[in-house]
Amino acid sequence: MLSHLQDPIVAIATAAGRGAVGMVRVSGPDLKPLAQRLIGRVPTARHAHYGPFLDAAGQPLDQGLALYFPAPHSYTGEDVLELQAHGGPVLMQLLLARCLEVAAEPLDADRPGGPPCCPGLRLARPGEFTERAFLNDKLDLAQAEAVADLIDASTEAAARSAARSLGGALSRPVTALHDGLVELRMLVEATLDFPEEEIDFLQQADARGRLDRLADRLATLLDAAHQGALLREGLTVVIAGQPNAGKSSLLNALAGAELAIVTAIPGTTRDKVSQTIQIQGVPVHVVDTAGLRADHEASDEVERIGIGRSWQAIADADAVLFLHDLTRLGEPDHVAADAAIGQRLPAGARRVHVYNKADAVDAAVLAARPQEAEPSVVLSARTQAGLDELRRTLLEIAGWHAVPDGVFIARERHLQALRVAQQHLQQARALAALDDGALDLLAEELRLSHDALGAITGHYTPDDLLGDIFSRFCIGK
């Protein structure tokens, strides 16, 4: 373990600002002397002690609760002391400073030059408490990330899914796959070590069957992880189209609020307007953009800049709602401009053709609209008819569906690791199908798949990745 992770640490563990209750948390070896100096008594493990928190003169800074959790039965696996006081920011800073002050005081008051009460106590880095929980085997890496995801959850579904991940809903199937690959690797490498036995490994050990079963389980897990990533990251959707097609009206209808200004004047929207909505618990980040037209048709420089930003938003989107104005379908200039926009949309973009203003046209116009190979929806942003179909379509193109056992939260790095593991497992299956076995190559593919799975739970995670993950946590967690 790195030396800086052996230092005792302290931080304010509650959110910044005023609150009814605030907490200062300390973690490290042997915190009883520190606790005794702060609360005037030796704390009993896992009991709440109500009383004063004392300053250097023995006067109370505040009255509150102190809880002491001795190692290894604590969140971090070390001794943990929690001081719960009134949640004023000044008081929290006073308690934090008092902890650091007491730590530097002599352990024995009669020996001024003796060892300090809590040597090396320092302010915690972001995520350091959870990092220590991971390093002390209280949580694996996927569970540690779920702690941050639970705090950051933007929807009820995301919060419940993060709680499932914290409980091991992702870690358990990954570990089971991990263990299955270990067994298979042992058999393959044992065969490599003892070729003189002339054992038909692939048949007698059912290597192909084992590989097939592992591949099926991995595919199921990857699909479930994709659903979890959608809950965490959401879907970014850009509304694009010509001026006055009803883009801002559609944003307002989806959001259920007047977020964007709507007028009959072309070019009213000059810049991006964004709002996050929920569809069956999935966060959908909807972006309204400036109306698209050729630069020479823009009324001024501001509108040209807005159009440029619209194209950038389209390039970054997960999906594009290409809005068409049903009231102008018969106008050659409008049809040509729509075609030009369609040609410029990114080739790989998932798009939905949205025919707006259905309330303003008759059935003949609706029947005459173009029949797209891509998904299309007819609606009225003004009356909101057709909005439910649009919501369902967005979930379909995102690949969202219900998971029988419930969704767990997942991150993009989990998906990448699972895809890498799947690729190497497929290579292993191809090698296992060869007549000569190619056992040395098969063993290598199994090892690479095994390592990719290990990166999810932290068995084979580089230190620089750990630093990046935990640096994104809040201080005190």
For the annotated binding site for K(+), the residues are 244, 263, 265, 268
Q: Are residues 445 and 417 in the same domain?
A: yes
Q: Which of the listed residues 66, 96, 124 is the one where a domain comes to its end?
A: 124
Mean per-residue pLDDT for 384-394? 92
Domain-located, residue 353: yes
**Does position 231 have pLDDT exceeding 70, yes or no?**
yes
**Whether the Cβ atoms of residue 345 and residue 319 lie closer than 8 Å to each other:** no
Number of domains in the chain: 3
Q: Kindly report the number of other CB atoms within 10 A of residue 151's CB atom.
A: 13
Q: Are residues 25 and 74 in the same domain?
A: yes
Q: How confident is the model at residue 272 (pLDDT cuts 50, 70, 90)?
A: low
Average pLDDT, rounded, for the chain: 85
How do residues 127-137 score in pLDDT, each as one tens digit? Answer: 999 999 999 99
Q: How confident is the model at residue 200 (pLDDT cuts 50, 70, 90)?
A: low
Domain-located, residue 154: no
Q: Kindly report the number of other CB atoms within 10 A of residue 181's CB atom.
A: 26
**Greater model confidence, 370 or 85:** 85
In the prediction, which pLDDT does 194 show? 63
Mean per-residue pLDDT for 229-242? 88
Counting residues of the chain whose pLDDT is more than 70, the rounded percentage is 87
**Does position 178 have pLDDT exceeding 70, yes or no?**
yes
For the annotated binding site for GTP, the residues are 244-249, 263-269, 288-291, 356-359, 380-382
**Does position 330 have pLDDT exceeding 90, yes or no?**
no
**Greater model confidence, 420 or 437:** 420
Domain-located, residue 134: no
**Greater model confidence, 396 or 266:** 396
Domain-located, residue 132: no
CATH of the domain at 457: 1.20.120.430
Domain-located, residue 15: yes
In the prediction, which pLDDT does 249 show? 87
Query: How large is the angle between the packed helices 171-193 and 439-457, nearest 10 degrees?
Result: 150
Q: Kindly report the number of other CB atoms within 10 A of residue 261's CB atom.
A: 12
Q: How far is CA 176 from the centre of its chain?
A: 23
Counting residues of the chain whose pLDDT is more than 90, the rounded percentage is 46
**Does position 208 have pLDDT exceeding 80, yes or no?**
yes
The count of C-alpha atoms lying within 13 angstroms of the C-alpha of 146, restricted to the half-sphere facing its C-beta, is: 28
**Does position 263 have pLDDT exceeding 50, yes or no?**
no
**Greater model confidence, 186 or 462:** 186
Q: How confident is the model at residue 296 (pLDDT cuts 50, 70, 90)?
A: very low
- CB proximity list for 194: less than 8 A, separation 6 or greater: none
Domain-located, residue 378: yes
Domain-located, residue 147: no
Q: Which helix (H) or strand (E) holds 422?
A: helix 412-432
Q: Are residues 273 and 207 in the same domain?
A: no
- Residue whose C-alpha is closest to residue 318's, from 351, 280, 365, 272: 351
In the prediction, which pLDDT does 262 show? 40
Mean per-residue pLDDT for 390-401? 88
How do residues 43-97 score in pLDDT, each as one tens digit? Answer: 899 999 999 999 988 899 999 999 999 999 999 999 999 999 999 999 999 999 9
For residue 154 the two structure tokens come to 């933007």
Q: Are residues 421 and 376 in the same domain?
A: no
Domain-located, residue 141: no
**Whether the Cβ atoms of residue 15 and residue 1 lie closer than 8 Å to each other:** no
Alpha helices by DSSP H, listed for 284-386, are: 301-316, 332-344, 363-368
Question: Range of 13's domain?
Answer: 3-124
Q: How confident is the model at residue 268 (pLDDT cuts 50, 70, 90)?
A: very low
- End-to-end alpha-carbon separation of the chain, Å? 20
Alpha helices by DSSP H, listed for 200-297, are: 201-204, 207-233, 247-255
Q: Are residues 91 and 119 in the same domain?
A: yes
Mean per-residue pLDDT for 148-176? 90
Measure the CA–CA gap between 69 and 79, rounded to whole angstroms. Answer: 6
Q: Are residues 249 and 345 in the same domain?
A: yes
Lowest mean pLDDT among 259-263, 324-328, 471-475: 259-263
Q: Which of the listed residues 398, 422, 456 is the one where a domain comes to its end?
A: 398
CATH of the domain at 344: 3.40.50.300
Q: Are residues 259 and 220 in the same domain?
A: no
Q: Are residues 248 and 392 in the same domain?
A: yes
For the annotated binding site for (6S)-5-formyl-5,6,7,8-tetrahydrofolate, the residues are 25, 82, 138, 477
In the prediction, which pLDDT does 365 show? 87
CATH of the domain at 35: 3.30.1360.120
Q: Are residues 42 and 61 in the same domain?
A: yes
- Residue whose C-alpha is closest to residue 161's, from 146, 148, 171: 146
Lowest mean pLDDT among 13-27, 144-158, 257-271, 353-367: 257-271
Mean per-residue pLDDT for 354-369? 89
Q: Are residues 340 and 319 in the same domain?
A: yes
For the annotated binding site, the residues are 25, 82, 138, 244-249, 263-269, 288-291, 356-359, 380-382, 477
- Residue whose C-alpha is closest to residue 288's, from 256, 263, 323: 323
Q: Which of the listed residues 349, 377, 398 is the one where a domain comes to its end?
A: 398
Mean per-residue pLDDT for 227-241? 88
For the annotated binding site for Mg(2+), the residues are 248, 269
Query: How large is the angle between the packed helices 247-255 and 387-398, nearest 10 degrees?
Result: 90
**Does position 431 have pLDDT exceeding 70, yes or no?**
yes
**Greater model confidence, 275 or 293:** 275
Measure the CA–CA gap between 451 and 52, rounded to whole angstroms. Answer: 51
* Residue 103, Cβ density class (10 Å: 0-12 exposed, 13-18 middle, ≥19 buried): buried
**Does position 250 have pLDDT exceeding 80, yes or no?**
yes
Q: Are residues 190 and 252 in the same domain?
A: no
Q: Are residues 219 and 271 in the same domain?
A: no
Alpha helices by DSSP H, listed for 56-127, are: 89-104
Q: How confident is the model at residue 310 (pLDDT cuts 50, 70, 90)?
A: confident
**Does position 429 have pLDDT exceeding 50, yes or no?**
yes
Which range of 12-21, 106-115, 268-277 scores highest in mean pLDDT? It is 12-21
Q: Which residues of 382-412 are buried (b: 16+ CB within 10 A; e: fewer)?
A: bebebbeebbebbbebbebeebeeebbbbbe
- Residue whose C-alpha is closest to residue 387's, from 243, 269, 237, 279: 279
**Whether the Cβ atoms of residue 31 and residue 83 lie closer than 8 Å to each other:** no
